[in-house]
Amino acid sequence: MIPDILEHYGLGQFGQNRTAQDMLLFKDGQLQDAQAWMARAQELDAYHVHANNTLNAELRDRSDQLNQLWMGQQRQVMTLMVAISL
């Protein structure tokens, strides 16, 4: 259909080549946009992985601290109970 229209207006092969070139440029732009979007998505994914790892390490550290405090508190309670029973 497009070749017929181009022939009708006297554009012939030149018009077809120009149309094909325009389409290739348009598609190339779309491809570049998609590649940029994918690169950004990969950056965000790497950021989230790093953030998750950091948060998990912090959670482990704080859990260990809490457990140590809890065990210390239990020892103090046991010491007081022994002292009271004497």
Q: What pLDDT does residue 13 have?
A: 60
User: Tokens 């998750």 — which residue?
Assistant: 52
Helix (H), strand (E) counts: the chain = 2, 0
**Domain range holding 27?**
2-85
Q: Total domain count for the chain? A: 1
pTM above 0.85, yes or no: no
Please provide residue 11's backbone torsions phi and psi, each rounded to the nearest 5 degrees: -90, -30
Please provide residue 9's backbone torsions phi and psi, each rounded to the nearest 5 degrees: -90, 10
% of residues, the chain, pLDDT over 90: 63
